[in-house]
Structure formats: structure tokens, C-alpha cells
Structure 1
């Protein structure tokens, strides 16, 4: 595979999953770690992505959208966010993680609804504050902040979640598969997301369809733990049928 082709594959993976590991990219490209490390370094120097320890992140990753000009499949994410808003009820307590689709949801939250919102994501908290209404209460869950993900993790944050019972959790998903469930690249982030699920009555995943049927290292939950899956597709799309067959509501 030529270098230009490798670069294209790397950019597609980074745009799709927001954060990818060098080891995963080496496996996808079937090249050495040294080769993929050089490729990522070159793309970073060209400002096509951001090189981080052990991997790469997209330029728009965890930067709230008023400051970002690079949102992958933004039209689809806005459509998904509009569907997600329909699931909210006045008086809800909401848990919401980070991710570009969830950030689009945050921008559309109705000002007239009385809502209490908890998030472990710094960019999400900023987006929520920017769009905050007097009827909204926003809480940033405390704990150790990951530099790469800008998400709070660790025992302190997980303990805080044990005192919350949310009506609905909007969980950002990097990898989702009907047989392997929802997975993550990072163990601490996976533990945080597990705690969010445990603290919620209803679990919703907002995701573009390109992320469907993808898997990574650390399992967060089985697919039947998910109450609703929201994509840009129509609910009767063939790609979604296995999720429906596993008891997931399609929206």
C-alpha cells in the first residue's frame, strides 16, 4: 500500500472513531509500528490530525463545535441529535458523555425544558454552559481528567455516579457491534462509561451508521443493555436489523 493510501485510511479511522491507537492502525494497514508512527507524525505536521501518546485524535475531537471547522459527517450527526432530543421529557435528569454527536445534541436541548444534566466531559460541560437556559442545571462530575479524551475518569468520579439515578444516559460510542456490544480503546474510559450506565434508568446511543459493527478492546456492555439506538438511518434499514433482533429500540 502506498503512503498516500495509508494516510487516507488513517484519516478515515480517526474521523470515524475520533481517537485511534497506533497498534490498531498498524493492524488495519498491516505495517510495522515504526511505519504507522511515521505516518501519524507526518499527518500531524500537516495539521490533518493530532498526534497523542500511543495514537492520534481528530482535529475536531472534544473541541466544542463553535470553535471547530472539522466535524465528520456533521449533517448526519445533526439529524441524529434531532431524533435524540425527542426522547427528552420535562424534569429529566440526564447523564451525557462526550463525543461530536452528543455535542450536537447539547446544542439543540430546548431552553423551555426543566432539566438537570450531569457530564464527565469537559468539552460537553462547556457546550452545555454556552447553551444553558435558566431552566437547566449543569453539573461537571469531578475526578481525574484525561488529557487525550478530556473526560473525567477514576474512582472519585465513579463514586460520585453511585449517588445519581439518571432518567436517561446518552452514551458516546466509538465502537458498537450487535454481537460484541459497546467497546472502547481505553480501560479507564470504559469503567467510567460502565458507571454511567449503572447510574441510569435508560441507555441511549447516538451514532452514525459507519460506526456500526466495529469492535475494540474493552467491553462496556452487551448490546441488549442498550434501550435505544439512534442513527441517521430509517429504523427499518437492513443494517439495523440485527440490533432490533437483540431487543434494541431503533429511532
Structure 2
């Protein structure tokens, strides 16, 4: 916003004197800053603060519901995959020993074999303790929110615990073990048949970070199913009676 104002200066003939009149056109610029103590005219992203956690809760509920719906299939496929990878690593280790391959490669096979075994038992333990009633309730639910709203707080924790343990730990471990096992299979083929092209591919897929990731995820998956983790979980997380089938409206989204 600007204002124009004329200023008259009287002078005597000089630039500023008694007989001259100089007119100055002074522009005054004012900047108006609006402040709002109550945030009425300020966009502080208020709706987004609530939209983000609600969106996360919805995504988690959908993931848990889908896992419960297909839990039996997921567990069976994961167990078969883990058993196949353990067998592959064991055969590769045996071939390496027979062919007297360098110790570094044999150590890698031992680590991968141990990771596969830990992952296999983690999946088996999770499947053994997974409540079948959760799958029944998931099949009866129309969507993720409906499924979660029909569970008690303990039911939320049980279903989420198994989903994270398998989908977030065991399955990533299987993925990295699959890459490492493919490298071991190619290398074993080279040791037996002498095909040079399999050696080149084996080197490409035998990345150290892949084995490290497989080891970390498999170890975490196994620890998540250990008795120590279960005791820690039950003593610090569960806040209701151990009844995963008790229907309740615990979430704000269910009210």
C-alpha cells in the first residue's frame, strides 16, 4: 500500500531559498503484515497432521487383514522356500568340500546355511503359534478396518506381531537368501561342469551385502519367535486378557 504526499519548500533563488518553491512528491510505502494470534488466516497443515497417522493405521490394518486371510498359504510357501534354500546351500557346501574350494567361499556357504536354518525355524515357530481363529475372523470381515475393529487390543497385537515377524523379517531374509543361493548354485555348476559363464554370473550375484542382509533378517526373524522375545512381548506390550477373539472397538476409527 502506498501514499503520495506533496511537500512545498520555499527559498530565495537558490536551490533551497526564500523565493523558490520546490515540490517533492514523496512516496511512502507501507507494508501491512497480518498477524493472527489464533491461526485463523494461517495454513499450518492441520488436516495433514491427522491424515498421515490415520492413513498409516488404515494401511497396517489392510496388511494385517490380508496376512490373516492368506496366513496358511503364506506360511506353507515360506516353509517350502526356506527348506529349498537350505538344501541348495547344503549341496553347494558339500560340492565345495569335495572340490576343495577356498575357505572363504566355504565360510560364506556356512553362514548362508545357518541363516536359512534360522529362517526356517522362525517361520515354523510363527506358524505353530498363529491363532487359526484370526484367519476365520479375517475371512468373515469385509475389509481391514472391519477385521481390526472386531478384535480386542490383544488381538491387534497378536495379528500385527505375526505379520511383522513374517512379512517384515522372514520374507526379506528369504529374498536375500534366494539371491545368495542362486549364486551358490551357479558356482557349484562351474565347479562340477566347468562352464565359465556360470562362474561370471556367480560372482555378480555373490555380493557381500546380500549375505549380510540375509544374516541380519534371518537372525531378527528367529529372535522375534524366541521364548525371550515372547516373554518380553507379553510383559511389556499386552495390556488386556489373552483373548484374541474378544470383539471390541478399541481404535478411534471404529467409533
For normalisation by structure 1, the TM-score amounts to 0.24
Higher Rg of the two aligned structures: 2
Higher strand share: 1
